């Protein structure tokens, strides 16, 4: 993981999220309050715009700048959660050394753990954590493998299955929780956007 | 979408700037990070009250900054929680040494961002969370009830205690009492339109209403055919009374709040219906508030809040207040 990797992934994710924005907006309007997609898009735009400011910085400083930008520029649940994610990654030790696959996995795992604590949400509550926590568990299995590309294909599959599984869940966290039975039948918008992000990054890593 | 708007990116900034100019005798507006604070510095030794939340609920919260109420308010984007740096900056700006009490509506985004803001602020601080909406039951399956219109009452009543030398602990205790003594439920006839979305948040038929709606147009208990005002008001009050169970001799404040698109004429009609129904049930109404205080953009609809009042609450309700949206006694 390097600063240029982060920038190129942000651009790739931005493209995919923009292509799927209408679908996510509708999901959020069905069971949330419709702000999720705008927050995600605003955050990605801000991060992509940071390119010139961060491209020559060490990884820890770049991650910290991304974290502060996300935290101060997005708002809503997404801003707090993704801000927490990047802030935790920035606090990882030994970022001045080469960040290999194993280290990158550990950073992502600790970032997702911090998101879980911030949002106080667990698997089965119809939120983005339904996708992120199983992905984190899988990365924990994979992190020591020398040939990780097949494993990333499994990550893609897990993210998609878990995203789809939110459809029939009753929401117990987030704004969808106020809907009770009426939230059933709709995929959680946060789970969908998280799955798209994971899908995009994994595919990009596999193909390079 | 028909709105007074130039371009979406500047929507909030332009509105806040106008708000600052219109009420320059009472408040200052700071941008980047955005917060509204009192024109006069918080006096030494006075606990500072800071609230905030997504924009689109005006006059909440910026309209409640001023003597006898809030010291600062942090507006987020429309219907999105404000960010932690706003809370940190507002706290650093207003804290006069007696500490900061954050007043937060129970929504996941608000809770998380205020939590982070409180962690980032190095001074003494505490928080209260309002959750007065009885529409969605508190159970093991939810994060709890939503914080809605009673937040206005909490800000007014705790604001008076803070103005009268209440300590951080005393302010928090009174805020929690007001929240616990209040119940709210709302109904919507039409949707609101978030400027960034450009179209209504939800579809609703000409003859339908959303019973138990939230202040972002999020669904409530059920979708129903519209009914005469007395029936709607009766159903709302039944839900609130079920929850609050006021005693026969208890005094109450009745608050009819407009969602933004319903004229005052109708809100007063709702108030009259509510008074009659409460009287028939032996519930005594001694204080009133009617108007658009906790809105949902241009949504047509209203919420009713009932607050059980003891002498402490009554005293602080009557105390002088001077803000952009609420003023009496001075």
Which residue of the set B61, B67, B216, B316 is catalytic?
B216
pLDDT at A26: 87
Question: In sequence order, which ranges of B66-140 are alpha helices (DSSP H)?
Answer: 84-94, 108-120
Domains in chain B (CATH in brackets) are 11-181+317-328 (3.40.50.10440), 182-309 (3.30.1180.20)
pLDDT at B254: 98
Could you report the per-residue pLDDT of A24-72, keeping only the tens digit for each? 988 887 777 677 888 899 999 999 999 999 999 999 999 999 999 999 9
pLDDT at A178: 59
Domains in chain A (CATH in brackets) are 3-206 (1.25.40.340)
Q: Which residues of chain B have pLDDT under 70?
A: 137-143
Q: What percent of chain B has pLDDT over 90?
A: 88
Could you report the per-residue pLDDT of A70-93, keeping only the tens digit for each? 999 988 889 999 999 999 999 988
Any A CB within 8 A of B13 CB? no
| Tokens 């927050």 belong to residue | A39
Confidence of residue A175 (pLDDT cuts 50, 70, 90): low
Q: How far is B162 from chain A (nearest CA, A)?
A: 29
Q: Do A75 and B202 touch (CB under 8 A)?
A: no
pLDDT at A31: 75
The predicted model scores a pTM of 0.91
Instruction: Reply yes or no on whether B61 is catalytic.
Output: no
Instruction: Reply yes or no on whether B316 is catalytic.
Output: no
Q: Do B116 and A80 touch (CB under 8 A)?
A: yes
pLDDT at B139: 41
pLDDT at A208: 83
Torsion of CA B220, B225, B231, B233, to 10 degrees: 30
pLDDT at B142: 47
Q: How far is A89 from chain B (nearest CA, A)?
A: 17
pLDDT at B219: 78
Closest CA to B149 of B298, B22, B260: B260
Is the pLDDT at A174 greater than 80, yes or no?
no
Q: Per the omega criterion (within 30 degrees of 0), is the bond before A61 cis? A: no
Mean of the pLDDT values across residues A153-162? 97
Rounded CA-CA distance B298/B208 in Å is 17
Q: Do B197 and A177 touch (CB under 8 A)?
A: no
pLDDT at A28: 84
Please give the mean pLDDT across all residues of chain A: 91
pLDDT at B108: 86
Rounded CA-CA distance B266/A30 in Å is 29
Buried b / exposed e across A177-195, counting CB within 10 Å, b at 16+?
bbbbebbeebbbbbbbbbb
pLDDT at A35: 78
DSSP state of B43: P
pLDDT at B141: 41
Rounded CA-CA distance A135/A156 in Å is 8
Residue A45: other Cβ atoms inside 10 A: 14
């Amino acid at each position: 993981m390097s600063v240029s990797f982060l920038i190129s992934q942000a651009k790739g994710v931005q493209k995919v999220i923009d292509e799927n924005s209408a679908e996510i907006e509708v999901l959020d309007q069905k069971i949330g309050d419709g702000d999720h997609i705008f927050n995600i898009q605003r955050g990605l735009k801000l991060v992509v715009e940071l390119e010139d400011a961060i491209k020559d910085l060490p990884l820890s400083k770049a991650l910290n700048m991304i974290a502060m930008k996300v935290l101060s520029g997005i708002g809503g649940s997404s801003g707090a959660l993704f801000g927490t994610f990047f802030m935790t990654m920035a606090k990882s030790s030994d970022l001045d050394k080469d960040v290999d696959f194993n280290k990158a996995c550990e950073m992502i795992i600790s970032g997702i753990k911090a998101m879980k604590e911030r949002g106080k949400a667990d698997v089965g509550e119809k939120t983005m954590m339904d996708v992120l926590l199983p992905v984190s568990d899988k990365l924990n299995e994979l992190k020591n493998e020398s040939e990780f590309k097949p494993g990333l294909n499994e990550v893609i599959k897990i993210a998609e299955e878990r995203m789809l599984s939110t459809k029939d869940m009753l929401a117990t966290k987030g704004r969808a929780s106020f809907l009770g039975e009426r939230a059933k039948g709709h995929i959680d918008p946060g789970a969908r956007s998280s799955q798209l992000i994971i899908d995009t990054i994994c595919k990009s890593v596999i193909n390079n | 979408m028909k709105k007074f708007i130039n371009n979406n990116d500047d929507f909030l900034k332009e509105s806040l700037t106008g708000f600052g100019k219109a009420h320059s005798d009472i408040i200052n507006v700071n941008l980047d990070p955005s917060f509204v604070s009192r024109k006069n510095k918080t006096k030494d030794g006075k606990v500072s009250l800071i609230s905030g939340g997504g924009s689109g609920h005006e006059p909440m919260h910026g309209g409640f900054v001023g003597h006898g109420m809030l010291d600062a308010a942090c507006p987020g984007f429309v219907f999105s929680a404000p960010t932690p740096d706003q809370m940190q900056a507002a706290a650093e700006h207003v804290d006069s040494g007696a500490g900061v009490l954050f007043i937060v509506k129970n929504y996941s985004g608000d809770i998380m961002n205020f939590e982070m803001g409180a962690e980032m602020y190095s001074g003494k601080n505490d928080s209260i969370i309002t959750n007065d909406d009885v529409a969605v039951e508190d159970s093991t399956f939810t994060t709890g009830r939503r914080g809605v219109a009673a937040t206005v009452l909490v800000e007014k009543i705790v604001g008076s205690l803070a103005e009268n030398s209440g300590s951080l602990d005393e302010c928090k205790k009174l805020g929690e009492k007001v929240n616990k003594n209040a119940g709210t439920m709302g109904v919507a006839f039409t949707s609101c339109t978030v400027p960034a979305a450009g179209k209504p948040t939800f579809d609703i038929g000409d003859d339908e209403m959303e019973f138990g709606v939230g202040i972002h147009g999020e669904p409530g208990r059920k979708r129903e055919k519209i009914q005469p005002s007395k029936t709607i008001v009766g159903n709302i009050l039944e839900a609130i009374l079920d929850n609050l169970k006021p005693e026969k001799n208890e005094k109450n404040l009745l608050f009819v709040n407009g969602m933004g698109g319903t004229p005052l004429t109708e809100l007063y009609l709702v108030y009259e219906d509510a008074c009659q129904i409460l009287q028939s049930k032996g519930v005594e109404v001694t204080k009133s508030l009617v108007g658009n205080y906790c809105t949902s953009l241009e949504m047509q609809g209203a919420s009713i809040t009932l607050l059980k009042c003891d002498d402490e609450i009554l005293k602080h309700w009557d105390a002088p207040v001077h803000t952009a949206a609420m003023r009496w006694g001075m």
